[in-house]
Chains A and B, each alone.
Chain A
C-alpha cells in the first residue's frame, strides 16, 4: 500500500511537470489582455507538484519507519479485477470493428457463459435481448446512434 502510494504520487507529480511544461510554452504571466492562456493551469500544475512532493516525502518516512504495510489489492483480488477489466477492454476493442451492439452480444455471452457458468439457453437469451433493447431505445427511439465500428452498419439489416 505504501509503495503504491509513493508510486501514484510520483506519477501525479509527473503529470504536474508535463502540465507545467506546456503552460510555460503558452505563457503563464501577464499578457496583452490580462493573464495568459497558461496562467491558470500553470498554478494548478505547480500545486500538484508541490503537494505530491510532500505526499512522497511523508510516504517515504512512514515506509522507512513501518515497512510496506497492507497490500494495495487484497489477496486474489487482482485476478477478480482483471476478469472484469480484460473482457471490458476486449468489448471496447471489438466495438471498433463490429460496433457496440454486436460486441455486447459477445461480451455478455462470454461473461455469463465462461465466468458465470450459466445455462447456455439463458446466456443466449439475455445476451441477445439486452443489446436489442438498447438498439431500439437509443438508435430508434431517441435517435442517438451508438458506435457502429468498421463493419457494424453492414451487419444490421434494418
Chain B
C-alpha cells in the first residue's frame, strides 16, 4: 500500500515538474549548472549560493527546482571540463580525468563524453529511485526524533565527515568548530542576547552561509587557479551517433561496474561523504576488480563509468538526508537546504507531511531534469566546452563580479562583499593547508539547528549529558558516531601492532 501511495505521490510530483513554468526553470537551471560546472572557480555550491537571492521572488517548488537543477547541471558540466581539458571543473570530477582525458586525447572524445554522461544518467536514476522509495520511510521514522535524537544525528554526521574526508582529524574538527562559531555570531535566538559582536554593528547581523560559500569556494578557488597558472588547451569534440552506440555497448559490457559505482555513490551520498570520495572510491573499485588493469590511465571505459556513476549517484542521494532529516549530504545540498530555510520551509521529516507537494515536486523534477540534462550534454557538449576557450582575463573578473552580486544580494549589505573577499583568502589558506571546507560550510548552515537541539536536549535531561545516549534511537546513533570517529585510529593501531608482531617474528 505504501508503495502505491508513493507512486501516486510521484505522479503528482512528475506532473508538477512538467508544468511549462517549472520545466522552463529546470532547463534554465541545468544550462546555468552546466556552465557553472564547466567554469573553474564556480561550482555547484556557489552557483546555488549566487542564485538564492533570485529565488526569493519564486514559489518554493520552482525555487528548489532551479537550485537542484543547477546542482545536476554542475555534476554533468564538471565532467566535460575534465574529459576535454584535463582540468576538473569540480572536485568530484578529478577521478574522471584519469581515464577520460586519455580517451579523449586518443581521438575518442565523443565516446568519452557519451560514456560519462550516460553513466551520470544511470547513477542519477538509481539515486532518485532510492530517494523515491526510501525517503518516505525514513521521514516516517524520523518523526519519532526528539532534540536528543536530532543532536545525535548531527554528531553522527560530523563524525562521519571528520573521518571520511581523508584529511587530518584535528583540522576537520577546527573547521567544524569554526563553522559553528560563525553561525553563532549575532543574536542568540533563545535568550535574545548579542553574542560575539564585541560591540560592533556589522557583526550584529552575523555571517551568512551564502557569503561564506561564495568566498570559500568561489574566490578561494580563483586564487588557487591563478596561482597554478592555468592553461586551457582543450580537445575539440563532436558527438556522433556511432559514439552513442559504442558507449552503450561498453556500458552493457561493464554493467557490473556501473551498478557498483552507482551504489557506492548512493551510499556515500546518504552519509555526508559527498560525491568526491565516492568517485575516487568507485574508481579504485573498478581498477581493483578489472581484468585489464594496464588499460587504466590510458582511457579505459570502466575508468570513466565507475567514478561518473558514483559521483552523480552521490549527488542525487544527498537529497535524501536533506529532506528527511534536515541534514545535507554535501556542501551544495547544504546551500539548497539553507535556501529552504530562507523560503520558510523547515527541512526534516515534517516536510513530507506539511509540504508534500513541494517534496514530491522536487523528486519529480529530479527524474525529469536528469533526462533533460543528459540530452543537453550530449547535444551541446562542444558549445559548453567552448566557454572554456574564452580568454581568462574576461572570465576571471566576470566571475568575481557575479560572486560579488551574489554576496551582496543575500541581505543587501555592502559588508558582505568584504566578508566574501576575506572568506576567499581564508578559503585559499585552508585549501593550501589541508583544512577541509565542506564541514565548515555544513556547520555554518546547521549551526542554529544543532545548537538549539543540544540546548533543548540538555534541558530535557536537566543538564545530564547522558540524554544524548538515551535508548532506543539516540544510543545506537551515538555509538555509530563514536565508531566512525575512532575507526581510523583503531585500524592504524592494529596495523602498527601487526607490523610490530611481524617485526618480532622475523
- Which A residues are within 8 Å of any B CB, using their own CB? 1, 4-5, 8-9, 12, 15-16, 18-19, 22-23, 26, 30, 33-41, 44-45, 47-48, 51-52, 54-55, 58, 72-74, 76-78, 80-81, 83-85, 87-89, 91-92, 95-96, 100, 104, 107-108, 111-112, 115-118, 126, 130-131, 134, 138, 142-147
Asked if A147 and B408 sit within 8 Å, CB to CB, the answer is yes
| B222 contacts across to A, CB distance below 8 A | 84
| CB closest residue in chain A, given B55 | A142
Partner of B401, one of A18, A40, A130: A130
Minimum Cβ distance to chain B for residue A90 (Å): 11
Minimum Cβ distance to chain A for residue B137 (Å): 32
Asked if B409 and A146 sit within 8 Å, CB to CB, the answer is yes
Minimum Cβ distance to chain B for residue A25 (Å): 10
Minimum Cβ distance to chain A for residue B66 (Å): 13
Please report the C-alpha to C-alpha distance between residue A68 and residue B404 in the assembled complex, in whole angstroms. 36
Asked if B412 and A145 sit within 8 Å, CB to CB, the answer is yes
Asked if A34 and B459 sit within 8 Å, CB to CB, the answer is yes
Tell me which residues from 433 to 464 in chain B have a Cβ below 8 Å from any Cβ of chain A: 433, 451, 454-456, 458-459, 463
Partner of B409, one of A35, A74, A88, A138: A138
| A117 contacts across to B, CB distance below 8 A | 393
A-B contact count (CB 8 A): 174
20 interchain pairs, CB-CB under 8 A: A22-B198, A26-B193, A44-B180, A44-B184, A47-B174, A51-B177, A55-B171, A80-B227, A81-B226, A81-B428, A87-B397, A89-B421, A91-B404, A92-B404, A92-B417, A92-B421, A111-B396, A111-B397, A117-B393, A130-B398
| A12 contacts across to B, CB distance below 8 A | 174, 178
Please report the C-alpha to C-alpha distance between residue A37 and residue B184 in the assembled complex, in whole angstroms. 10
Asked if B432 and A4 sit within 8 Å, CB to CB, the answer is yes
Minimum Cβ distance to chain B for residue A103 (Å): 9
Asked if B418 and A92 sit within 8 Å, CB to CB, the answer is yes
| A33 contacts across to B, CB distance below 8 A | 190-191, 459
Q: A112-B393, A147-B408 are in contact. Are A8 and B433 (CB under 8 A)?
A: yes
Q: A45-B181, A95-B414, A134-B405 are in contact. Are A34 and B455 (CB under 8 A)?
A: yes
Tell me which residues from 450 to 497 in chain B have a Cβ below 8 Å from any Cβ of chain A: 451, 454-456, 458-459, 463
Minimum Cβ distance to chain A for residue B488 (Å): 16
| B433 contacts across to A, CB distance below 8 A | 1, 4-5, 8, 72
| B201 contacts across to A, CB distance below 8 A | none
Asked if A41 and B196 sit within 8 Å, CB to CB, the answer is yes
Whether B53 sits at the interface, judged by CB under 8 Å, is yes
Q: A41-B180, A134-B405 are in contact. Are A111 and B393 (CB under 8 A)?
A: yes
| A4 contacts across to B, CB distance below 8 A | 429, 432-433
Cβ contacts B169-209/A at 8 Å (1 or 0 each): 01101100110110010001011010110100000000000
Cβ contacts B388-414/A at 8 Å (1 or 0 each): 000111101110110011001100101
Asked if B195 and A26 sit within 8 Å, CB to CB, the answer is yes
Pick the 7 closest A-B CB pairs, nearest first: A116-B393, A77-B227, A34-B459, A111-B397, A80-B226, A37-B188, A47-B177
Minimum Cβ distance to chain B for residue A16 (Å): 8
Please report the C-alpha to C-alpha distance between residue A44 and residue B458 in the assembled complex, in whole angstroms. 16
Please report the C-alpha to C-alpha distance between residue A4 and residue B429 in the assembled complex, in whole angstroms. 9
Apart from A34-B459, A107-B397: 5 A-B pairs, beta carbons within 8 A = A26-B193, A41-B184, A84-B222, A131-B401, A146-B405
| CB closest residue in chain A, given B219 | A88
Please report the C-alpha to C-alpha distance between residue A95 and residue B191 in the assembled complex, in whole angstroms. 37
